[in-house]
Structure 1
């Protein structure tokens, strides 16, 4: 199965082509904030280099969040469009699960997160099982204290030898992390990036969805939604009200 995968969740743009479990090619552009200009050319470059047409892709995959609100919409809308026009399968993969897939270690709690500022994180925790990460602490928006409490409860009931923190912003919490009383380490610079090739591997066992039902998973309301709610007094609408339909 040929899988074309995309991550626009952070400022690191990543696109990959997989053949089953093999990552044929992965290209990334770090520190990009205008993914809408660079995503399509990067996809075209990969297809050209591999002498493939977009119609020859069997499944599209995309990081659906958490992450940058604007970035997620760009990636999700792009693969929705491809899948709808070509009649292909499409899957959404948690950004945090993609980060966890970079760590093959067993007996390790893999905590993945994206710095959401003010000691808050979009985060979750995973352990490896059956060849891929399995979620044991739900993806969510956590204050660091709440996240570490959840980690502490889990490691007290399971055979965990160490904890690895992968993603952004964890090193500044080292004082609190040490209070867990467990060996821990941080992800490498490469692990802390979201790799589309790993998204492609996770996509092989993910359940395809109708392209119209593929939505970003922000895990927190945008500031524009919050302001609108306070101004109008109207209830929040479903996520599809804020995502371009294709």
Structure 2
């Protein structure tokens, strides 16, 4: 099936080489589809298909009576060890499913994250992909002033920024809305999701008649762990000039 060609390649890789890493998780993992829980388990695995972040793989036995999980065609090149699958709840279904019958992933099922209406760790919704248990976020108050400029125009200055430090990523600077020069900003329709921070909305920046799309983001209702950044604005470090305590940040 052409639309599942990427899943076929992933299945071939995982069957031949195994995942980059995998480990069981004590979290209760549930997936909501069409108003019903399709699976509910305390025996899920974090599976790193690549080094960057994990996905949840759930036991085939964890699917609820409201869900119908079936094998479709075997994946070429896996000797029948991996099948494409189909998950249905009522009149809603997805074929973005892999089912494993041998190897390190035996009896586990991958349902593509975005195909579910909502995923939960315990009773907490998660977004975009599962959180990596080896990464964390720290949000620190600072009195080191931060200045943001672009093309010689100052866009924001704050004496009391928030520093958001996320494992393996660069520091992001969240500034109070009163520190921003709003005449340069206009609302964007863009939205993105972060498993650690929630749903982000964006602003464009226009300077000298040139619009810079989605240069600024903010979280109106962040996740509990990132609550301090609510309403603060963050400029893309990579696309603007930032000074921290008078020293220009190097990209």
- Bin the TM-score by the shorter chain: under 0.3
Q: Normalized against structure 1, the TM-score is what?
A: 0.26
Q: Which has the larger share of strand?
A: 2
Higher relative contact order (CA 8 A, sep 6+): 1
Max radius of gyration: which structure? 2
Q: Normalized against structure 2, the TM-score is what?
A: 0.26
Q: Which has the larger share of helix?
A: 1
